[in-house]
Amino acid sequence: MQKLHFEILINAPVEKVWNSMFEDATYREWTEAFHPGSYYKGSWEEGSKILFLGPGEDGKEGGMVSYIRENRPHEFVSIEHVGLVMDGVEDTTSEAVKKWTPAFENYTFTEKDGGTEVSVDIDLDDENKAMFEGVWPVALEKLKEIAER
The count of domains in the chain is 1
Containing domain of residue 134, as a range?
A: 2-148
Please give the torsion angle defined by the CA atoms of residues 126, 33, 10 and 67, in that order, rounded to the nearest 10 degrees: -60
pTM: 0.94
Residues forming beta bridges with residue 53, ordered by sequence position:
39, 63
State the CATH number of the domain containing residue 35. 3.30.530.20
pLDDT in tens, 96-117: 999 899 999 999 999 999 999 9
Q: What is the mean pLDDT of residues 34-58?
A: 93
